Chains A and B, each alone.
Chain A
Amino acid sequence: MADLSVNFAGIRAPNPFWLASAPPTNSGMQVHRAFEHGWGGAVWKTIGAPVLNISNRYGGLSLGGQRLVAINNVELISDRPLEVNLREIAEVKRMWPDRALIVSAMVDADPKAWREIVMQIEDTGADGIELNYGCPQGMSERGMGAAVGQVPEMCQLNTHWVTSVTRLPVIVKLTPNVTHITDPAHAALAGGAHALSLINTINSVMKVDLDTLLVTPSIGGQATHGGYAGPAVKPIALHMLSELMCDPTVRASGVPICGMGGIQTWRDAAEFLLLGASALQVCTAAMHYGYRIIEDFVDGLSNWMDDKGFATLADVTGRSLPQMSSFGGLDLGYQAVARIDPDKCIQCDLCYVACNDTAHQCIDLYSPEGVKVNPGFNVRDGGKQVAQGRATPVVREPDCVGCALCANVCPVDGCIEMVSVPSGRPSVTWDQLTATRPAVTQEWAAMEAYRKEAGIEIH
């Protein structure tokens, strides 16, 4: 069985699955129960400045009848009294010495305020501090949260105020509501951060109710933007994670990154690990299904690691990163074409209509007798037997640009495969072309000439 234990910037835990700072970690009783279920760690719901929360603070995104594909919240940091939180943190840590217990904090941008809260956190015996620079509403309007995370100078300064007064590892939690995620990351590193975590929630307006015309969630007839999280944000989180992991400054610093944003199953978790995360946090999935999901997180991940022959998390972390490149570094000579497995095909014709209407018109329909046919049917026919003589889609490979749209719409797993074929074209990247033959990448006439020379035909 694979070893799932982690040592993240000196913070140890039996597994990399930690509850993110959010409602699942709101109180000692909750975190205690979460640990009983097997969570490897928890980041306490952010404590700090005094707040008042409002009612009706969540909005959910449903897709295809599936609830909570994403959640949006207009919730602030913890509204429980500070000393109650601190007392419970100390109690939970005493009871669970082997688990990672990290305290998320957010106070006014003032060194005194930070020093005070840091001292209080240290007194609890917690394993680390996470600086919440993400809260996209409410707190940011008061100069905290995203207001810090979005301004690199503030980010560096606030981080420095903390790292200079504590012996605990300091994790800076980044907000995704920025143009370049590397800017606040560099600032955090300059401020002395020992680790980074991302992503916090994304600015969002969830929806408008078509019956009442109310923007949802409606707070007494009024609404505001909130933070977006859950399965739908995963690709954005993976992008930001890989951006950081490929950034030379971040790499040189050697700080680990705790990944989160849309982790709903162990599979999502494995993807974060492969793109460089060394620990993980989960919020929405736990809010949707409860703490019990940890069982399959641990079970599924360790089974997968056993199957793949990975003994420790270090074997997994960052393993897929070398593939990450930029557009200019991709091989323009590479060619893939779609190939349909007629035995798996159920003849829904979704690939046909997708390619025909919105790709490159290179899927044809063939009757069982091998005759090319058009879609359509006989109005005087009926009965289930009509399905028997149904035509099958076939790709005209020479005309296929390999866009992979059909493979993405096909509802049958493994039915349409994108296969590599020899292209007969030179293997070259855009960057190489630009360096060696600048005219080709700047003038259409030169581009046309190059295409002719390289045998590239555009349909």
Chain B
Amino acid sequence: MERSSPAVPEPEVYRFQEALPPLTAHEATVEAHRCLYCYDAPCMQACPTHIDIPSFIRKISTGNLRGSGRVILEANFLGATCARVCPVQELCEGACVLGKDHTPIQIGRLQRYATDHIFERGVQVFTPSPPTGRSVAVIGSGPAGISVSAELAKLGHRVTLFERRELGGGLSTYGIIGLREPVEVSLREVEAVQNLGVEVRTGVELTDREGLDVLLSQYDAVFLGLGLGAVPALGIPGEEAVLDGLTVIEASKVEPWRLKVGPLALGKRVVVIGAGNTAIDAATVGRRHGAEVEIVYRRTEHEMTAYRHEYEFALHEGVRFTFLTQPVGVEVEDGRVTGLRCVRMSLGVADASGRPRPEPVPGSEFVIPCDTVIAAIGQEKPALAAQLGLALENGYIQVDDGLQTSLPRVYAGGDCIRVRGSASTVMAVQDGKLAAASIHAALMASPVAAD
């Protein structure tokens, strides 16, 4: 796809504001005072990175914002991203003791308030330890890569972070819609890791085993935070005319003009295929570009993988849902999409995943007229892993409790190892912490390699 200079200027209107405004100082103080400062707090246990939530909130209530930000970033270097993207209803806020009969504390928004304070003022929270003489190469600058780099750099290791894309940040930069997290937020985190002395080299891709061996000869350990691949093929006729949901979201963040002109231009009627969080995000982008948007899914509302709150958010945005509908082909005339051919489904007996298996209703074919079809049915598993000769588990990189792969000195974390559970930023961050701890233990147990 062409990436020439914009054919249309980039007006501010394309840059979507975050859906929730920042808390004002007074709102933050009042909300912070509502927190009970629980002991052994369940919110802290529910946070995968175990941020000391009652402490950071109390510090907001006492006006110690620098201390509050430090508490957050010590446990979670990507606290500013997590404040925005975490499914808090399923995590900390879902566990808040006030959730039973009251409204849980708005932990995410308070976290954003405290971390914004740090980043807007350029406060340096951490000082790296004296150099240990050990070095680590990190591949991939997504949340897992940044987290492990930060933790290792704090411990005094020399870290080089390699990223194949032009900008660092992984899906925080390219994949999470601007309504939730503007690009600046994730880029500030890349900058923060650089401030710790981590060398970030963008535009560098690890492509094969040879490359890995070279890294292993130059570094004491290698961490792989590769994330996942592109949206898988649908396998239906007319597929070439279907837009990739991730590409659409990416464009909406870094080059919004591309959704107006050229091959990625969105039409007036958009159909999104899929029912996970990515489908909801792609549909939201479509709505915010003024299109009528319909999500088609072959099962029902109950089997959707999107979080309930995401589903409700989409309904609120005016996205329509058509359930029990399976796409079977894209109607294309003169190279332009005119509709999505579908068949009605009915639910049969439960399949291996325990969800009822959808079956086509004979003779129920129909066409949804539209001018854009977007596929957002998840991401492909990490293809590079097999080429590197790593043991796999169900297509993901296999790791032990210390996040070491089948190759000595090679560790992995984030989406590329997420065999179970839904992949999320905060879990990638926790992987980075756990991997850093085991890399640190291993490196310090062996003597410094002579140059």
Indicate whether A and B interact: yes
- Measured between beta carbons, the chain A residues less than 8 angstroms from B93 are 384
Judge whether B39 and A353 touch: CB under 8 Å: yes
Rounded to whole angstroms, the CA-CA distance of A384 and B33 in the bound complex is: 22
Q: Which of B26, B40, B44 contacts A65 (CB 8 A)?
A: B26
Of chain A, the residue at the smallest CB distance from B29 is A65
Rounded to whole angstroms, the CA-CA distance of A346 and B35 in the bound complex is: 13
Judge whether A349 and B33 touch: CB under 8 Å: no
Judge whether B42 and A352 touch: CB under 8 Å: no
Judge whether B39 and A350 touch: CB under 8 Å: yes
Q: Which of B33, B92, B97 contacts A348 (CB 8 A)?
A: B97
Judge whether B97 and A347 touch: CB under 8 Å: yes
- With both chains docked as a complex, state the minimum distance between the C-beta of B339 and any C-beta of chain A, in angstroms: 41
- Measured between beta carbons, the chain A residues less than 8 angstroms from B95 are 383-384, 386-387
Residue A398, interface by CB 8 Å: no
Residue B47, interface by CB 8 Å: yes
One of A217-225, A326-334, A371-379 at the interface: A371-379
* With A65-B29, A347-B97, A377-B50: A384-B39 Cβ-Cβ less than 8 Å: no
- Measured between beta carbons, the chain B residues less than 8 angstroms from A350 are 36-39
Tell me the chain A residues, 322-351 only, with Cβ under 8 Å from chain B.
346-350
Judge whether B36 and A352 touch: CB under 8 Å: no
Rounded to whole angstroms, the CA-CA distance of A331 and B70 in the bound complex is: 52
- With both chains docked as a complex, state the minimum distance between the C-beta of B39 and any C-beta of chain A, in angstroms: 4
B 39-66 to A, binary, CB cutoff 8 A, 1 in contact else 0: 1111011111010000000000100000
Tell me the chain A residues, 369-422 only, with Cβ under 8 Å from chain B.
375-387, 390, 411
Q: Which of B37, B41, B91 contacts A384 (CB 8 A)?
A: B91
- With both chains docked as a complex, state the minimum distance between the C-beta of B385 and any C-beta of chain A, in angstroms: 23
B 293-313 to A, binary, CB cutoff 8 A, 1 in contact else 0: 000000000000000000000
Q: How many residues of B contact A (CB 8 A)?
A: 34
Tell me which of A350, A378, A382, A411 has the highest count of chain B C-beta atoms within 10 A of its own C-beta. Answer: A382
Rounded to whole angstroms, the CA-CA distance of A349 and B29 in the bound complex is: 23
- Majority DSSP secondary structure for residues of A touching B: loop
- Measured between beta carbons, the chain A residues less than 8 angstroms from B29 are 65
Rounded to whole angstroms, the CA-CA distance of A41 and B91 in the bound complex is: 55
Tell me the chain A residues, 96-120 only, with Cβ under 8 Å from chain B.
none
Residue B184, interface by CB 8 Å: no
Rounded to whole angstroms, the CA-CA distance of A349 and B41 in the bound complex is: 8
Judge whether B94 and A349 touch: CB under 8 Å: no
Rounded to whole angstroms, the CA-CA distance of A386 and B40 in the bound complex is: 12
- Majority DSSP secondary structure for residues of B touching A: helix
Judge whether A347 and B42 touch: CB under 8 Å: yes
Tell me the chain A residues, 262-321 only, with Cβ under 8 Å from chain B.
none
Rounded to whole angstroms, the CA-CA distance of A411 and B36 in the bound complex is: 8
- Chain B: residues with CB nearer than 8 A to chain A? 26, 29-30, 32-33, 36-42, 44-48, 50, 61, 89-95, 97-98, 100-101, 426-427, 430, 434
Judge whether B48 and A64 touch: CB under 8 Å: no
Rounded to whole angstroms, the CA-CA distance of A453 and B404 in the bound complex is: 68
Judge whether B45 and A349 touch: CB under 8 Å: no
Tell me which of A350, A353, A384 has the highest count of chain B C-beta atoms within 10 A of its own C-beta. Answer: A384
Judge whether B38 and A384 touch: CB under 8 Å: no
Of chain A, the residue at the smallest CB distance from B43 is A387
- Measured between beta carbons, the chain B residues less than 8 angstroms from A65 are 26, 29-30, 32-33, 61
Judge whether B39 and A387 touch: CB under 8 Å: no
- With both chains docked as a complex, state the minimum distance between the C-beta of B59 and any C-beta of chain A, in angstroms: 15
Judge whether A381 and B33 touch: CB under 8 Å: no
Extra inter-chain contacts (9) besides given A386-B45, A387-B45, CB under 8 Å: A65-B29, A346-B98, A348-B38, A377-B50, A382-B430, A383-B46, A384-B92, A385-B46, A411-B36
- Measured between beta carbons, the chain B residues less than 8 angstroms from A352 are 39-40
- With both chains docked as a complex, state the minimum distance between the C-beta of A160 and any C-beta of chain B, in angstroms: 51
Rounded to whole angstroms, the CA-CA distance of A378 and B46 in the bound complex is: 10
Q: Which of B37, B38, B40, B48 contacts A376 (CB 8 A)?
A: B40
Judge whether A64 and B46 touch: CB under 8 Å: no
Rounded to whole angstroms, the CA-CA distance of A349 and B47 in the bound complex is: 18
